[in-house]
Amino acid sequence: MCGICGILRHQSDRPVPRAELERMNDALRHRGPDSSGFAIHGQLGLAMRRLAIIDVAGGEQPIYNEDNSRLIVFNGEIYNFGELHADLESRGHRFRTRSDTETILHAYEEFGDECPKYLRGMFAFAIWDSRRSRLFAARDRFGKKPFYYGTWDETFWFASELVALKGIPGFPAELDPEAIHHYLTLQHVPEPFTGLRGIRKLPPANVLICENGTIEIKPYWQLEFGPKDRGDFETHRAAVRAAVEEAVRIRLISEVPLGAHLSGGLDSSIVVGVMSRISTQRVRTFSIGFDEQGFDESQYAESVARHFGTEHETFRVQADAAELLPKMVAHFGEPFADPAALPTWLLAERTRRQVTVALNGDGGDEAFAGYQRYFADRYANALHLFPPSLRRLGERLAGFMPTRDDLPMERRRLSALGTLFRAAEYPPGASIVRWGSYFDERQKTELYEPEWPGRAAEPTWLLLDAIYRRAPGNRIDRTLATDLELYLPGALLPKVDRMTMAMSLEARSPFLDHRLMELAARLPVDRKVRGLQGKIILRAAFRDILPPEIAGRRKQGFGLPIAHWLRGPLTSLVCDTLLSKSAAIRGILRPEVVARFWSEHQSGRHDHSKRLWALLNLELWLRWLRSRTN
């Protein structure tokens, strides 16, 4: 696991300055504290910071091929590198190390631009092919490992995090109004945007080729949801069981201490259960708890830990942890407002004191349809057919129902009717916007300053609806495809990657194994969702090893008591930043509207906690962006 960066001059007579490359690499030290490596060849410079996991002694980067005509820097883990190494060796390739990094390089020599198809794992890498004066880069299928890039000063720049690019002379810091417009609804900036006009993210499952001053981006893989496997339930149950167990097993390869993050939900409990049956040592598990009872799930995690006999630790999160927000913003490098990033940071910090690698349950919801909205969408679809006037009347009437900000959104039963009417305003393809939006289009229009270009951006729900409409299959499959293209790489995976790598902790996600995801995608929908329950086949596959209260437990999001904190411990932080006369959002957002959201929340008339959290993080990001240092 590493951080990587590079510089490629479009003009061959302009050598790369080592000092500039070193500065970029130093900004990624947290991603790889164990060592660093550099390679400069005229117009090309590559660098990396290494977190040593596999071939600790011999896997230093950059790595060259046999005749030194090609070299690679790599961030991630390739879980099938052993068998791939053997295959490539049988084809005549000679290896200097036993690292997965060198395997990728020889796979490029053997298979060319198709080489990512042969890799099973999480990765972002760049290969310099001096024979063709060509830079070849690729990102893994689901976007676990990041790859930011931009071109200015007749130079191509790339890095694992934006922090490595910030501060370079000519860095394009111009805001992208469209990206910010979508952020305010989604809580993240969707691919390939970043918040800045001149910087982009390489989309997952794509390669990038920089050659002769031009950039080409093309896909190498796409998840297919058909044709459906028509086997019987028991056949599917056994196949899912075997695929999950294999995905966990191959992710236990490590030369450093390894553990797991345990939330008490179905997915992480399955991962820990499989680990405990495979591992020859007692599994170490780690979880987060809250003093606010309605948000605390630590008792479920502790129950699972007792059941499997793990060595378990629970860490409690309190409101003063929000002091970390400015540091977190720097690691994201773009606007990001999922409150779960905060406990993820703290969990990673405490976990890293014991282990270097931690498995998690990420991806289980997207593979097996675990979110409540997957079955709730059908009710919103029915209401969407009603006249708009009737829907708005229903929403107004539902607004008289009391709400509870001492519970996560999924458990606020009394306010569910109002949420349903609001969701019905959007077409079927906009599932994420329906149930998880922070600001709707009317609120954003009211919020923007009259001259802010974001006013002209298309509605955010159109982004999702366009993906949904081009995806084949039924409603559930199309919604899953939309989530995999937009939500997973935009929100879930950046949160985990940035917060764990900030602590030099490697996170591994067995449910995001592409072979397991391909199997899940081909299952009939009734293997995933029936009635008001999701993950049907996954529950059945592991019911025999799980505690009964976990096997049948409904999904609860990783919620934080933000509403309560904003009325108490976080008041001064908001007043000193978001509401101050020197706020960076002035000129973008109308301060009187921001102040109204704040006063309505403080009075208890409305729960604006997620909106205020998004605005606070936007403000802190703008301040970081305008600061002179990283």
Give catalytic residue positions: 2
- Full DSSP string of 446-499: HHB-TT-GGGGSPPHHHHHHHHHHHS-S-HHHHHHHHIIIIIIIIIIHHHHHHH
Q: Rounded distance, CA 149 to CA 125, Å?
A: 13
Give residue for tokens 């009347």.
393
Q: How far is CA 143 from the centre of its chain?
A: 7
Alpha-carbon separation of residue 341 from 273, 394, 494, 585 (angstroms):
25, 34, 9, 22
- What is the rounded (10 degree) CA torsion for 108, 110, 114, 117? -90
Please list, in sequence order, all residues whose beta carbon lies within 8 angstroms of the beta carbon of residue 10, skipping any fewer than 6 positions away: 43, 154, 155, 156, 213
Can you give the C-alpha Rg of the chain in angstroms?
A: 24
Give residue for tokens 């883990």.
77
CA angle 35, 37, 40 (to 5 degrees): 165
CA angle 386, 465, 442 (to 5 degrees): 65
Q: Rounded distance, CA 525 to CA 537, Å?
A: 10
Q: Rounded distance, CA 258 to CA 93, Å?
A: 32
Closest by CA position to 292, among listed 406, 404, 208, 122: 406
Alpha-carbon separation of residue 220 from 59, 85, 113, 117, 146 (angstroms):
27, 21, 9, 7, 17
